[in-house]
Amino acid sequence: MRSADRTWQPEATLQFSTTNQVFVAVLWLALYGQWLTLVPIVIPDQIAGILGPSNPAKEGIAGTIGAAGALVALVVAPIAGALSDRARGARGRRRRFLIFGILGTCVGLALLALFVPGSSIFLYALAVLHLQFWWNWTAGPYAGLIPDVVPGIAQSTASGWMNVMSILGIIVGSALVYEFYAAGKILPVAAMFIGLNILCLLLTLAGVREPPAAGAETSFDLRVFIRSFYLDPRAHPNFYWVLLTRLMANMGIWSVFTFLLFYLEEIVGLDRDAATNLLPLLLGGGTVIAIPSTLLAVRMANRHGVVGIVQIASWVMAAAVIGYVLIALHPTLVLVVLAMLIFGAANGAYNAVDWALALKVLPAGRDSGKDMGIWHICMVLPQVVGPGATGWLITGIKIAVSSRLAYEVAFGIGALWFTLAAMLVARVRLTEQMRAGTDGS
């Protein structure tokens, strides 16, 4: 393997244009468009339809299925990324993974349309796991594409474009869910997402020119492959601090995000149809606000440093989640909307600069797919722990005491995760070379 080869660099180019940036980042639009609308809206609603909307265990079961899907993602993304590092191809090492991953995702979306009220919840869980597998078979190698093809000097801008495409994806996905999804009827919106996947894949394949890949210099050795996922914390302390704070921030996100639909129903008092119509509008509105906050965050990070902007965004997200806790005392829809918009703006800023921070501390060398896959774990592991633990916490407190207390406790813990992320990211220390994007941690 070439983990020790520190000469691997993106192709030297005099200019990496805005058009190049768009083509590199556009597949995130499709992935985020479905991931951040299906997971908080469609999948919980389908689970409620299968179990019955009044089933008191719906939060726990929804959280467990979400956690199981994330566990698949936890394993698949870094392995797929590492395998793509070793791949051989005249047109690059990531290409075939993107193609097969998106095609598998399209099949997974079609499978979800087979489930109706009264279907097997076990088979539905398997369908969600299948979809998660292909999402992450794509996402792991795709995360390594930016370090492969974007020159170091342009990687902060690439981070911003990645986040803009992610935000646009959430807007597009929310609009598709609002327009084409009705409670229990997923086929129309699944067809829209399949079309979006194929379109964005074709744009990425047409617009990104990966350098030819000769493949790994050594034959595959399973023990060496497994050991390659270990990075010495003493040699890469900044990378580990970024991993830890990213994990904590995402623990906060997924302890809240998975249950927003049920929060609107149980705490605010909306009925099922009203909640499934309103939530995509709120998510879309939050992401619209996130676009200017993303651009502002990138500009401020270039001027004042990326670490400080990550910290500020984490504090604002903590405050917004505390808002959900306070609103539960006297539920008011207007305040829920305000909290979601504030959170959306802060989350947009956070994602833009946190990705840039990850690129700056990424260990130098050829194994960017594997290393970004490790970073991806800290986005996915909280999706294993957060929904499962929070779902059954909500279910238990709701049965024992009340829904209001259940969501106050659960979302209060979510705010604590953001607070820890904001405090610990200050431990990251960037050298001048790392700020300039020319070296790893």
| Helix 121-143 / helix 58-86 crossing angle, nearest 10 deg | 30
253, part of any domain: yes
Residue 9: the pLDDT is 44
441 within a domain of the structure (yes/no): no
In a domain, 3, yes or no: no
Q: Residue 71 sits in which domain range?
A: 20-212+232-435
The dihedral over CA atoms of 266, 269, 273, 276, expressed in degrees to the nearest 10, equals -60
CATH classification of the domain holding 357 = 1.20.1250.20
Please report whether residue 222 resides in a domain. Answer: no
The pLDDT of residue 112: 93
- Whether 225 maps to a domain, the answer reads no
- Domain-embedded: residue 318: yes
Q: 265 in a domain, yes or no?
A: yes
How many domains does the chain fold into? 1
Q: Angle at Cα 386 formed by Cα 295 and Cα 296, nearest 5°? A: 5
**Tens of each residue's pLDDT in the chain, 441 residues:** 333 333 334 444 445 677 888 888 899 999 989 988 888 888 988 998 898 877 878 888 888 888 888 788 888 888 888 888 877 777 778 889 999 999 999 999 999 999 988 899 999 999 999 999 999 899 888 877 877 777 766 666 776 787 788 888 888 998 899 889 887 688 999 999 999 999 999 999 988 887 776 655 666 666 666 666 666 667 667 778 888 888 899 899 888 888 888 899 889 988 878 888 888 888 888 878 887 887 788 788 777 778 888 889 999 999 999 999 999 888 889 999 999 889 988 988 888 788 778 777 766 555 555 666 666 677 777 877 887 788 889 989 998 998 899 999 999 999 999 999 999 988 887 665 555 544 444
Let me know if residue 148 belongs to a domain.
yes
This prediction has a pTM of: 0.68
